[in-house]
Protein backbone atom coordinates (compact mmCIF):
# COMPACT_ATOMS: atom_id res chain seq x y z
CA UNK A 1 0.00 0.00 0.00
CA UNK A 2 1.40 3.27 -0.78
CA UNK A 3 0.86 6.78 0.22
CA UNK A 4 0.43 8.02 -3.22
CA UNK A 5 -2.46 10.08 -4.54
CA UNK A 6 -4.25 7.65 -6.77
CA UNK A 7 -7.51 5.94 -7.35
CA UNK A 8 -9.38 4.10 -4.66
CA UNK A 9 -7.77 0.82 -5.47
CA UNK A 10 -4.38 2.34 -5.07
CA UNK A 11 -5.16 2.95 -1.47
CA UNK A 12 -4.55 -0.71 -0.82
CA UNK A 13 -0.89 -0.26 -1.47
CA UNK A 14 1.67 -0.40 1.22
CA UNK A 15 2.32 2.58 3.34
CA UNK A 16 3.30 5.39 1.15
CA UNK A 17 4.28 8.80 2.13
CA UNK A 18 0.95 10.39 1.84
CA UNK A 19 -0.97 7.23 1.71
CA UNK A 20 -3.06 8.65 -0.95
CA UNK A 21 -2.00 12.02 -2.14
CA UNK A 22 1.64 11.49 -1.56
CA UNK A 23 2.59 7.98 -0.75
CA UNK A 24 3.55 7.89 2.84
CA UNK A 25 2.49 4.66 4.29
CA UNK A 26 -0.30 3.87 1.94
CA UNK A 27 -0.05 2.40 -1.43
CA UNK A 28 -0.85 3.23 -4.94
CA UNK A 29 -2.25 1.07 -7.63
CA UNK A 30 -3.63 -1.52 -5.30
CA UNK A 31 -0.50 -1.31 -3.24
CA UNK A 32 -1.55 -1.98 0.28
CA UNK A 33 -0.08 1.26 1.63
CA UNK A 34 -1.72 3.72 -0.60
CA UNK A 35 -2.58 7.23 0.41
CA UNK A 36 -5.80 7.69 -1.50
CA UNK A 37 -8.98 6.32 0.01
CA UNK A 38 -9.74 2.90 -1.39
CA UNK A 39 -13.02 2.02 -2.93
CA UNK A 40 -15.11 0.41 -0.21
CA UNK A 41 -15.59 -3.31 -0.62
CA UNK A 42 -18.45 -5.25 1.01
CA UNK A 43 -17.44 -7.62 3.77
CA UNK A 44 -16.98 -11.22 2.72
CA UNK A 45 -14.84 -13.79 4.39
CA UNK A 46 -12.04 -15.14 2.26
CA UNK A 47 -11.38 -18.81 2.93
CA UNK A 48 -7.84 -19.63 3.92
CA UNK A 49 -5.85 -21.46 1.24
CA UNK A 50 -6.49 -25.20 1.40
CA UNK A 51 -3.39 -26.96 2.75
CA UNK A 52 -1.66 -28.93 0.04
CA UNK A 53 0.74 -31.71 1.08
CA UNK A 54 2.64 -31.23 -2.15
CA UNK A 55 2.75 -27.44 -1.83
CA UNK A 56 6.52 -27.39 -1.41
CA UNK A 57 6.78 -29.00 -4.83
CA UNK A 58 4.92 -26.02 -6.26
CA UNK A 59 7.85 -23.75 -5.39
CA UNK A 60 10.48 -23.96 -8.08
CA UNK A 61 13.92 -25.32 -7.33
CA UNK A 62 16.24 -22.32 -7.62
CA UNK A 63 18.54 -23.96 -10.13
CA UNK A 64 20.97 -21.99 -12.32
CA UNK A 65 18.36 -22.07 -15.10
CA UNK A 66 15.63 -20.66 -12.83
CA UNK A 67 18.08 -18.09 -11.48
CA UNK A 68 18.74 -16.90 -15.02
CA UNK A 69 14.99 -16.63 -15.62
CA UNK A 70 14.62 -14.50 -12.50
CA UNK A 71 17.54 -12.29 -13.49
CA UNK A 72 16.04 -11.70 -16.91
CA UNK A 73 12.50 -11.07 -15.64
CA UNK A 74 13.58 -8.58 -12.98
CA UNK A 75 15.88 -6.70 -15.35
CA UNK A 76 13.04 -6.46 -17.84
CA UNK A 77 10.73 -4.93 -15.23
CA UNK A 78 13.40 -2.41 -14.24
CA UNK A 79 13.93 -1.39 -17.84
CA UNK A 80 10.24 -1.10 -18.72
CA UNK A 81 9.18 0.68 -15.53
CA UNK A 82 12.34 2.80 -15.33
CA UNK A 83 13.07 1.66 -11.79
CA UNK A 84 16.51 2.95 -10.65
CA UNK A 85 17.36 -0.01 -8.45
CA UNK A 86 16.00 -3.03 -6.62
CA UNK A 87 17.08 -5.55 -3.99
CA UNK A 88 15.46 -8.99 -4.08
CA UNK A 89 15.47 -12.13 -1.97
CA UNK A 90 13.57 -15.36 -2.72
CA UNK A 91 14.08 -18.53 -0.72
CA UNK A 92 12.45 -21.71 0.54
CA UNK A 93 13.81 -24.66 2.56
CA UNK A 94 15.35 -27.24 0.24
CA UNK A 95 14.78 -25.05 -2.81
CA UNK A 96 17.72 -22.68 -2.63
CA UNK A 97 18.35 -19.03 -1.92
CA UNK A 98 18.22 -16.23 -4.48
CA UNK A 99 19.61 -12.85 -3.38
CA UNK A 100 20.26 -10.17 -5.97
CA UNK A 101 20.47 -6.42 -6.45
CA UNK A 102 20.09 -4.63 -9.75
CA UNK A 103 20.43 -1.06 -10.93
CA UNK A 104 21.74 1.96 -9.06
CA UNK A 105 21.38 3.25 -5.53
CA UNK A 106 22.37 6.76 -6.60
CA UNK A 107 21.60 8.07 -10.08
CA UNK A 108 24.02 10.97 -9.64
CA UNK A 109 27.08 8.85 -8.85
CA UNK A 110 26.06 5.58 -10.45
CA UNK A 111 26.72 3.72 -7.19
CA UNK A 112 25.13 0.27 -7.51
CA UNK A 113 22.37 -1.18 -5.39
CA UNK A 114 23.73 -3.74 -2.93
CA UNK A 115 21.87 -6.18 -0.64
CA UNK A 116 23.15 -4.51 2.56
CA UNK A 117 21.51 -1.10 2.08
CA UNK A 118 19.06 0.40 4.55
CA UNK A 119 15.73 1.30 2.95
CA UNK A 120 12.55 3.11 3.93
CA UNK A 121 9.78 0.48 4.05
CA UNK A 122 6.56 2.53 3.97
CA UNK A 123 3.43 0.65 4.93
CA UNK A 124 5.28 -2.46 6.02
CA UNK A 125 5.50 -0.30 9.16
CA UNK A 126 1.83 -1.15 9.69
CA UNK A 127 2.79 -4.73 10.41
CA UNK A 128 5.00 -3.58 13.30
CA UNK A 129 2.42 -1.16 14.71
CA UNK A 130 -0.36 -3.75 14.66
CA UNK A 131 1.96 -6.37 16.15
CA UNK A 132 2.62 -3.95 19.02
CA UNK A 133 -1.12 -3.55 19.53
CA UNK A 134 -1.72 -7.30 19.44
CA UNK A 135 0.97 -7.85 22.05
CA UNK A 136 -0.99 -5.53 24.33
CA UNK A 137 -4.08 -7.61 23.55
CA UNK A 138 -2.21 -10.74 24.64
CA UNK A 139 -1.24 -8.97 27.86
CA UNK A 140 -4.88 -8.18 28.54
CA UNK A 141 -4.24 -4.43 28.48
CA UNK A 142 -6.52 -3.69 25.51
CA UNK A 143 -9.32 -5.52 23.73
CA UNK A 144 -9.73 -5.70 19.98
CA UNK A 145 -13.41 -4.88 20.38
CA UNK A 146 -12.75 -1.82 22.54
CA UNK A 147 -14.03 1.39 20.94
CA UNK A 148 -11.29 3.82 19.91
CA UNK A 149 -13.12 6.50 21.89
CA UNK A 150 -11.96 4.74 25.05
CA UNK A 151 -8.41 5.83 24.26
CA UNK A 152 -8.60 8.84 21.91
CA UNK A 153 -11.07 11.70 22.17
CA UNK A 154 -12.74 13.43 19.25
CA UNK A 155 -12.82 10.55 16.76
CA UNK A 156 -15.94 10.58 14.53
CA UNK A 157 -17.99 7.49 15.47
CA UNK A 158 -15.36 6.91 18.14
CA UNK A 159 -17.86 5.26 20.44
CA UNK A 160 -18.57 2.59 17.80
CA UNK A 161 -15.36 2.09 15.81
CA UNK A 162 -13.34 -0.71 17.39
CA UNK A 163 -9.62 -1.34 17.41
CA UNK A 164 -10.29 -4.45 15.33
CA UNK A 165 -12.01 -2.36 12.66
CA UNK A 166 -9.14 0.12 12.61
CA UNK A 167 -6.55 -2.65 12.16
CA UNK A 168 -8.70 -4.31 9.51
CA UNK A 169 -9.28 -1.11 7.50
CA UNK A 170 -13.03 -1.13 8.14
CA UNK A 171 -13.48 2.02 10.22
CA UNK A 172 -15.09 4.27 7.63
CA UNK A 173 -12.80 7.17 8.57
CA UNK A 174 -11.40 9.47 5.90
CA UNK A 175 -7.77 8.88 4.92
CA UNK A 176 -5.81 11.98 5.98
CA UNK A 177 -3.23 11.45 3.25
CA UNK A 178 -5.98 11.89 0.66
CA UNK A 179 -6.76 15.39 1.93
CA UNK A 180 -5.79 18.19 -0.47
CA UNK A 181 -4.62 20.42 2.36
CA UNK A 182 -2.33 17.76 3.69
CA UNK A 183 -0.88 17.06 0.25
CA UNK A 184 -0.14 20.73 -0.27
CA UNK A 185 1.39 21.10 3.18
CA UNK A 186 3.60 18.07 2.70
CA UNK A 187 4.81 18.70 -0.83
CA UNK A 188 5.46 22.38 -0.18
CA UNK A 189 7.80 21.47 2.68
CA UNK A 190 8.63 17.75 2.85
CA UNK A 191 11.21 18.37 5.58
CA UNK A 192 8.63 19.60 8.11
CA UNK A 193 7.54 17.41 11.01
CA UNK A 194 3.90 16.43 11.52
CA UNK A 195 2.36 15.38 14.82
CA UNK A 196 -0.21 12.57 15.01
CA UNK A 197 -2.79 15.12 16.11
CA UNK A 198 -2.12 17.26 13.02
CA UNK A 199 -2.59 14.23 10.79
CA UNK A 200 -5.87 13.30 12.46
CA UNK A 201 -7.13 16.86 12.05
CA UNK A 202 -6.88 16.51 8.25
CA UNK A 203 -9.01 13.37 8.44
CA UNK A 204 -11.59 14.62 10.89
CA UNK A 205 -12.43 17.63 8.70
CA UNK A 206 -14.21 15.13 6.44
CA UNK A 207 -17.40 13.17 7.11
CA UNK A 208 -17.08 9.44 7.67
CA UNK A 209 -17.30 7.35 4.51
CA UNK A 210 -19.52 4.59 5.91
CA UNK A 211 -20.68 2.94 9.11
CA UNK A 212 -18.11 0.95 11.12
CA UNK A 213 -17.41 -2.51 9.66
CA UNK A 214 -19.76 -1.95 6.71
CA UNK A 215 -17.01 -1.97 4.11
CA UNK A 216 -13.26 -2.17 3.49
CA UNK A 217 -11.30 1.01 2.77
CA UNK A 218 -7.54 1.27 3.17
CA UNK A 219 -6.81 4.23 5.42
CA UNK A 220 -3.67 5.54 7.09
CA UNK A 221 -5.76 7.39 9.65
CA UNK A 222 -6.54 4.02 11.25
CA UNK A 223 -2.88 3.37 12.01
CA UNK A 224 -2.26 6.80 13.47
CA UNK A 225 -5.04 6.07 15.95
CA UNK A 226 -3.65 2.64 16.79
CA UNK A 227 -0.23 4.18 17.36
CA UNK A 228 -1.77 6.55 19.88
CA UNK A 229 -3.47 3.62 21.62
CA UNK A 230 -0.13 1.82 21.98
CA UNK A 231 1.42 4.97 23.43
CA UNK A 232 -1.38 5.61 25.92
CA UNK A 233 -1.58 2.04 27.17
CA UNK A 234 2.16 1.39 27.32
CA UNK A 235 3.09 4.79 28.68
CA UNK A 236 6.05 5.16 26.29
CA UNK A 237 6.50 6.63 22.79
CA UNK A 238 5.47 4.34 19.95
CA UNK A 239 8.99 4.14 18.53
CA UNK A 240 10.33 3.05 21.93
CA UNK A 241 7.66 0.40 22.40
CA UNK A 242 8.06 -1.00 18.87
CA UNK A 243 11.84 -1.18 19.27
CA UNK A 244 11.71 -2.78 22.71
CA UNK A 245 8.74 -5.12 22.31
CA UNK A 246 8.74 -5.98 18.60
CA UNK A 247 12.06 -5.28 16.89
CA UNK A 248 14.36 -6.60 19.62
CA UNK A 249 12.36 -9.77 20.45
CA UNK A 250 12.18 -10.52 16.71
CA UNK A 251 15.99 -10.41 16.58
CA UNK A 252 16.11 -7.59 14.04
CA UNK A 253 19.42 -5.70 14.00
CA UNK A 254 18.91 -3.04 11.34
CA UNK A 255 15.28 -2.02 11.79
CA UNK A 256 14.51 1.48 13.03
CA UNK A 257 11.45 3.58 13.83
CA UNK A 258 12.82 7.09 13.19
CA UNK A 259 11.55 10.11 15.08
CA UNK A 260 12.77 12.49 12.37
CA UNK A 261 14.52 12.37 8.99
CA UNK A 262 17.43 10.25 10.28
CA UNK A 263 18.45 7.52 7.86
CA UNK A 264 21.42 5.29 8.82
CA UNK A 265 24.13 4.68 6.23
CA UNK A 266 24.54 2.92 3.95
CA UNK A 267 21.27 3.67 2.20
CA UNK A 268 19.94 4.16 -1.30
CA UNK A 269 18.78 7.50 -2.63
CA UNK A 270 15.01 7.63 -3.21
CA UNK A 271 13.25 9.08 -6.25
CA UNK A 272 9.63 10.26 -6.43
CA UNK A 273 7.26 12.35 -8.53
CA UNK A 274 5.03 13.08 -5.54
CA UNK A 275 6.30 16.64 -5.51
CA UNK A 276 4.93 20.16 -5.62
CA UNK A 277 6.20 20.55 -9.18
CA UNK A 278 5.24 17.08 -10.34
CA UNK A 279 8.82 16.53 -11.44
CA UNK A 280 11.00 13.70 -10.18
CA UNK A 281 13.01 14.70 -7.12
CA UNK A 282 15.31 13.01 -4.62
CA UNK A 283 13.35 12.32 -1.42
CA UNK A 284 16.00 10.49 0.60
CA UNK A 285 16.05 12.81 3.58
CA UNK A 286 12.40 13.90 3.66
CA UNK A 287 10.85 13.70 7.10
CA UNK A 288 8.63 10.57 7.32
CA UNK A 289 6.75 11.81 10.39
CA UNK A 290 3.72 12.34 8.17
CA UNK A 291 3.47 8.54 7.91
CA UNK A 292 4.39 7.75 11.54
CA UNK A 293 2.65 4.54 12.68
CA UNK A 294 1.47 3.92 9.12
CA UNK A 295 4.76 4.10 7.24
CA UNK A 296 7.84 5.73 8.80
CA UNK A 297 10.12 2.76 9.49
CA UNK A 298 13.49 1.76 8.03
CA UNK A 299 14.92 -1.75 7.61
CA UNK A 300 17.13 -3.87 5.39
CA UNK A 301 16.94 -7.10 3.40
CA UNK A 302 18.35 -9.36 6.09
CA UNK A 303 15.92 -8.19 8.75
CA UNK A 304 12.90 -8.28 6.45
CA UNK A 305 13.66 -11.83 5.34
CA UNK A 306 13.39 -12.79 9.01
CA UNK A 307 10.40 -10.54 9.71
CA UNK A 308 8.39 -12.07 6.85
CA UNK A 309 8.30 -15.41 8.67
CA UNK A 310 7.86 -13.92 12.14
CA UNK A 311 4.89 -11.89 10.93
CA UNK A 312 3.15 -14.69 9.06
CA UNK A 313 3.69 -17.39 11.69
CA UNK A 314 2.92 -15.22 14.73
CA UNK A 315 6.09 -15.90 16.69
CA UNK A 316 5.53 -12.87 18.93
CA UNK A 317 1.84 -13.55 19.59
CA UNK A 318 -0.34 -16.24 21.11
CA UNK A 319 -1.84 -18.70 18.59
CA UNK A 320 -5.34 -17.38 19.31
CA UNK A 321 -4.38 -13.78 18.60
CA UNK A 322 -2.44 -14.73 15.49
CA UNK A 323 -5.48 -16.61 14.23
CA UNK A 324 -7.55 -13.45 14.59
CA UNK A 325 -4.89 -11.49 12.76
CA UNK A 326 -4.99 -13.87 9.81
CA UNK A 327 -8.80 -13.98 9.65
CA UNK A 328 -8.95 -12.01 6.41
CA UNK A 329 -11.97 -10.50 4.68
CA UNK A 330 -12.29 -9.82 0.98
CA UNK A 331 -10.59 -6.58 -0.02
CA UNK A 332 -9.77 -6.99 -3.72
CA UNK A 333 -10.07 -9.84 -6.22
CA UNK A 334 -7.82 -12.63 -4.95
CA UNK A 335 -6.80 -10.53 -1.95
CA UNK A 336 -7.94 -10.58 1.65
CA UNK A 337 -6.97 -8.22 4.48
CA UNK A 338 -6.72 -9.23 8.13
CA UNK A 339 -5.34 -7.15 10.99
CA UNK A 340 -2.51 -5.15 9.46
CA UNK A 341 -1.70 -7.96 7.06
CA UNK A 342 -2.89 -9.24 3.68
CA UNK A 343 -3.21 -12.55 1.90
CA UNK A 344 -2.65 -12.38 -1.86
CA UNK A 345 -3.08 -15.77 -3.53
CA UNK A 346 -1.68 -17.44 -0.40
CA UNK A 347 1.25 -15.04 0.04
CA UNK A 348 0.94 -13.42 3.49
CA UNK A 349 2.49 -10.08 4.36
CA UNK A 350 2.33 -6.44 3.32
CA UNK A 351 3.66 -4.01 0.79
CA UNK A 352 4.80 -0.47 1.38
CA UNK A 353 5.37 2.74 -0.48
CA UNK A 354 6.26 6.28 0.39
CA UNK A 355 7.86 8.99 -1.72
CA UNK A 356 11.04 7.50 -3.13
CA UNK A 357 10.78 3.94 -1.84
CA UNK A 358 8.78 0.74 -2.22
CA UNK A 359 8.78 -2.59 -0.41
CA UNK A 360 7.19 -6.01 -0.44
CA UNK A 361 7.52 -8.53 2.40
CA UNK A 362 5.80 -11.90 1.86
CA UNK A 363 5.70 -15.42 3.24
CA UNK A 364 4.09 -18.50 1.68
CA UNK A 365 3.31 -20.87 4.58
CA UNK A 366 2.78 -23.99 2.48
CA UNK A 367 6.31 -23.85 1.08
CA UNK A 368 7.82 -21.87 3.98
CA UNK A 369 8.98 -19.50 1.26
CA UNK A 370 10.03 -15.90 1.74
CA UNK A 371 9.98 -13.08 -0.79
CA UNK A 372 11.33 -9.58 -0.12
CA UNK A 373 11.57 -6.72 -2.62
CA UNK A 374 13.04 -3.28 -1.87
CA UNK A 375 13.12 -0.43 -4.40
CA UNK A 376 14.34 3.16 -4.44
CA UNK A 377 11.31 4.63 -6.19
CA UNK A 378 7.56 4.76 -5.74
CA UNK A 379 6.84 5.96 -9.29
CA UNK A 380 4.25 3.65 -10.79
CA UNK A 381 4.11 2.15 -14.26
CA UNK A 382 0.81 1.75 -16.09
CA UNK A 383 -1.02 2.26 -12.81
CA UNK A 384 0.86 -0.38 -10.84
CA UNK A 385 3.20 -0.10 -7.91
CA UNK A 386 6.82 -0.96 -8.77
CA UNK A 387 6.89 -3.57 -6.00
CA UNK A 388 3.82 -5.26 -7.50
CA UNK A 389 5.50 -5.47 -10.90
CA UNK A 390 8.61 -7.08 -9.46
CA UNK A 391 6.66 -9.40 -7.15
CA UNK A 392 4.46 -10.56 -9.99
CA UNK A 393 7.43 -11.23 -12.27
CA UNK A 394 9.14 -13.31 -9.60
CA UNK A 395 6.13 -15.37 -8.52
CA UNK A 396 5.20 -16.19 -12.10
CA UNK A 397 8.46 -18.12 -12.15
CA UNK A 398 8.76 -19.61 -8.66
CA UNK A 399 5.07 -20.16 -7.82
CA UNK A 400 3.10 -20.04 -11.10
CA UNK A 401 -0.03 -21.30 -9.32
CA UNK A 402 0.23 -18.54 -6.71
CA UNK A 403 1.12 -15.37 -8.57
CA UNK A 404 1.33 -12.22 -6.46
CA UNK A 405 -0.75 -9.70 -8.36
CA UNK A 406 -2.83 -6.65 -7.54
CA UNK A 407 -5.09 -5.18 -10.26
CA UNK A 408 -3.61 -2.23 -12.14
CA UNK A 409 -5.22 1.10 -11.36
CA UNK A 410 -4.79 4.43 -13.13
CA UNK A 411 -3.07 7.18 -11.17
CA UNK A 412 -5.36 10.03 -10.25
- At 50, is the pLDDT very low, low, confident or very high (cuts 50, 70, 90)? very low
- The confidence score (pLDDT) of residue 334 equals 84
- Condensed to tens digits (0 to 9), the pLDDT of residues 111-127 reads 999 999 999 999 999 99
pLDDT of residue 296: 98
Rounded percentage of the chain residues whose pLDDT exceeds 90: 83
Task: Give the three-state DSSP class for 144.
Answer: coil
Q: What is the per-residue pLDDT for 333?
A: 83
Q: Say if residue 297's pLDDT is above 50.
A: yes
298, pLDDT greater than 70: yes
Please tell me the predicted confidence (pLDDT) of residue 57: 59
CB atoms under 10 Å from CB of 47, counted, come to 7
Region 253-281 average pLDDT = 97
Q: What is the DSSP string of 16-49?
A: BSSSSSS-BBS-STT-EE-SSPPPPEE--BPPPP
What pLDDT sits at residue 406? Answer: 80
Q: Check if the beta carbon of residue 180 is closer than 8 Å to that of residue 253.
A: no
What are the residues facing 374 on neighbouring strands? 87, 359
pLDDT (0 to 100) of residue 55: 44
What is the mean predicted confidence (pLDDT) over 358-373?
98
Task: Check whether 345 has a pLDDT greater than 50.
Answer: yes
Q: How confident is the model at residue 49 (pLDDT cuts 50, 70, 90)?
A: very low
Q: Determine what percent of the chain is predicted with pLDDT higher than 70.
A: 85
Amino acid sequence: MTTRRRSAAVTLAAVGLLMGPVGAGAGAAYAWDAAAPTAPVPAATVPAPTPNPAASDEFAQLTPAVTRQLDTAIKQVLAEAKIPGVIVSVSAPGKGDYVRSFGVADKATGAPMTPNLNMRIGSVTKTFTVTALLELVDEGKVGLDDPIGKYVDGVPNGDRITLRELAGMRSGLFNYSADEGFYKAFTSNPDRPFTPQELLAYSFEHPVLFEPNAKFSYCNTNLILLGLVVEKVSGVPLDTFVDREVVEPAGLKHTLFPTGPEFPAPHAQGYTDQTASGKVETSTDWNPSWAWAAGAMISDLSDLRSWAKTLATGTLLTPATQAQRLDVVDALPGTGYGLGIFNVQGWIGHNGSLPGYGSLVLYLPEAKATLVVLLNTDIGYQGQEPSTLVGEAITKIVTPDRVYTLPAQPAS
